[in-house]
Structure 1
Amino acid sequence: MSGHSKWANIRVRKTAQDARRGKIYTKYARLIEIAAREGGGDPTTNNRLRGLIETAKADSVPNANIDRAIKKGTGALKGEAMQEVLYEAYGPGGSAFIIECLTDNRNRTLANVKATISRNGGRFAEAGSVTWMFERRGVVVAGGGDAGLGEKVGDPKKLEDIELELIDQGAEDFDATDEHLQVITDMTKWTRIRDFLKGKGFSIESAGLQYVPKQTAPVDASAMLKVESLVNSLEEDEDVSEVHTNAVVQ
């Protein structure tokens, strides 16, 4: 299968490992809290909570953090209730953005997100202006890990060995570089793809639901630098959990 996204879903990660890890912990704590509040604190009867706990543990989130988030969600621990909010924007070069947030203060988050977008050459958009350009998909990003692929994850001969198996597991598309493999599937099969790749010795860098663009927006190199700056600035906000864009460099 040939990739249609071509890494369009840009995810600029912080270079400071401690800051990145801290944000990952915060993100999972908020998601787990919301899931426990909406569906109860028992992962055997709350599918969303169970999935979040699995991915949080795969991302090395301490059990104590997970337990505390569940207790906050069920009311056993007091605190301001977290909410999920979604914002839309237009970025440099005609690109489109979806910004997912987890917040205990919608007014604060909205003001901060709007300011960041404006400061980086973007324009805040009304609800529904951008979401139709994306679809919710399961996305798994893996590295070579102990799979014997070294840094050559994108080696066609190596990928041929697992391509049919990936399709059998539910993969609908994938892109590969020398260091990473990105697999796209439907919303219900990403955990199966994740577990399959782990079983093959791949290291899982991220796995979950993302907004994948239906069509990409080609931008020149100069505009792409501005797009990346906007993504990075948004992700500096603790309330921002995910940033998605359809921009690709032409």
Structure 2
Amino acid sequence: MSGHSKFANIKHKKERNDAAKGKIFTVIGRELAVAVKEGGPDPANNSRLRDIIAKAKANNMPNDTIERGIKKAAGDAGSVNYETITYEGYGPNGVAIIVDTLTDNKNRTAANVRNAFTKGGGNVGTPGCVSFMFDKKGQIIIDKEECEMDPDELMMVSLDAGAEDFAEEEDSFEVITGPEEFSSVREALEAAGVPMVEAGVTMIPQTWVELTDEDSLKKMNRLLELLDAEDDVQATYHNWDE
């Protein structure tokens, strides 16, 4: 894992997204609605909802906004039903890309995702065309500056809770879990008072692709910007070694 911590990118994204909090809150709001519909409005009995609340707080979503979203989803039986659709494809120079979406109009979403790939010099492929190149893992990133716990103690808390791997980077700690163990590890760290800058189930590339020519770099950045601006897109994973 060493050398490929997403922390620097996360810090950059958070700074960039400070100007687009509406997009972040829309994404999390949809995730809250789906979690409540699937498992109920009580976080104590809904581990997925607990994880999304933690994600919302990490993104500075106000508590009253979170509570309103949960109450709205719990009380509105006729609210919009969102469908989860994953797209896979290739960017410039064969960069593998996975796009998770949550949509109430799959035709609109498909058109917008394809448009982003086309404008970014890539193309949407068939389901499964690149997902085999990624491992689905829980990933927790901890900012060293914000964490007061001793690194060895932090590692033991993580591993005792079920983590698979613990890595110390230059400015962060990275905890990797299996998808099923993610919630229990995140909750153990939360109970220990560990501040998490990012925590979620993600797709980690097995190999990485470098882009060196200016045209490919420009197209890849354009592709990611278009996907990032699309409200239906929940997450984008890729193996571009930025």
Which among 227, 230, 239 is matched to residue 223 of structure 2?
A: 230
Q: Aligned partners of 1:27 and 1:217: how far apart in 2?
A: 27
Q: Aligned partners of 1:67 and 1:200: how far apart in 2?
A: 24
The structural deviation recorded for 1:113 is: 0.8
1:63/1:164 CA distance change after superposition, 3 Å: closer
- The residue aligned with 1:25 is 25
The structural deviation recorded for 1:199 is: 6.5
Aligned length: 238
Contact 2:5 2:169 in 1 (8 A): no
Q: Aligned partners of 2:100 and 2:231: how far apart in 1?
A: 11
Single out whichever of 114-123 and 218-227 deviates more from structure 2. Answer: 218-227
- The residue aligned with 1:169 is 161
SS class of match (1:218): coil
Which among 237, 241, 244 is matched to residue 237 of structure 2?
A: 244
Q: Aligned partners of 1:113 and 1:62: how far apart in 2?
A: 30
Uncovered stretches (5+) of structure 2, i.e. residues with no partner = none
The structural deviation recorded for 1:86 is: 1.0
**Length-normalised TM-score, structure 2:** 0.81
Q: Aligned partners of 1:216 and 1:168: how far apart in 2?
A: 29
Uncovered stretches (5+) of structure 1, i.e. residues with no partner = 150-157
Q: 1:118 and 2:111 equivalent?
A: no
SS class of match (1:31): helix
- The residue aligned with 1:106 is 106
Higher helix share: 2
Contact 2:158 2:166 in 1 (8 A): no
The structural deviation recorded for 1:186 is: 1.0
**Length-normalised TM-score, structure 1:** 0.79
1:51/1:129 CA distance change after superposition, 3 Å: same
1:217/1:99 CA distance change after superposition, 3 Å: same
Higher RCO structure (Cα 8 Å, ≥6 apart): 1
Counting aligned pairs with the same residue, the percent is: 33
RMSD value over aligned CA atoms? 3.1
SS class of match (2:13): coil
Single out whichever of 240-249 and 115-124 deviates more from structure 2. Answer: 240-249
1:161/1:130 CA distance change after superposition, 3 Å: same
Equivalent AA in structure 2 for residue 35 of structure 1: A
- The residue aligned with 1:49 is 49
Q: 1:189 and 2:187 equivalent?
A: no
